[in-house]
Homo-oligomer: A and B are copies of this chain.
Amino acid sequence: MYIHETQYRVRYGDTDQMKYVYYGHYARLFEIGRVEAMRALGFSYRQFEEEGVMMPVLDLHCNYLKPAFYDELLTIRTTVTEMPGVRIHFQYDILNEAGEHIHLGKTTLVFVQMHTNRPCRIPEHFAAALRPYFEQT
C-alpha cells in the first residue's frame, strides 16, 4: 500500500446554503489527493500527459460520513490500495481538524495511450516507483 497525506482549506465557494461543503466538490478534493500523492513519488500528471498517457476516471464513489465546514483545514489521505496494471485504484479518507473521519471516496482510473486512445499498462517508471510499497515481506 502506498499512502500519502495532503491538506485542503475549505473555501467559501465550496460551501452551500446548508453550510456544508457541497456534495459535488469532493471529486475535486480527490483530484488534489491523487495528484499530490503522485507528485510525492516524483511524478506529475502534467508530465504523464506530455509523454502521451492520460488517466481518465472510470468510476467514483463517495460516502458522506459527516459534513465539512467553511475554513476547516481538511486532511486528504490518499491510498493506492493495490499494485496498478491497466487500472489504478485510489481510496481517499478525509479527516477534519478534530481528526474525525468525515468522508470515504474511491476512484478507478485507466491508463490510456493518447495517440491510439486505447488502454495501456501503467508507465514503467511509475510502476517502478510504486513497487516497493507492494512487495511482500
Contacts and interface: CB of A to CB of B under 8 A. Distances in A.
A27 B23 contact: yes
Given A28-B11, A31-B12, A31-B13, A18 B54 contact: yes
B22 A56 contact: no
Interface string A37-67: 0000000111000000010111111111001
B20 A56 contact: yes
A15 interface: yes
A44 B23 contact: no
Given A13-B24, A24-B28, A56 B67 contact: yes
A29 to B, nearest CB: 9
Contacts of A70: 17, 46
Contacts of A27: 13, 23-24, 27
A100 interface: no
Nearest to A54: B18
A23 B60 contact: yes
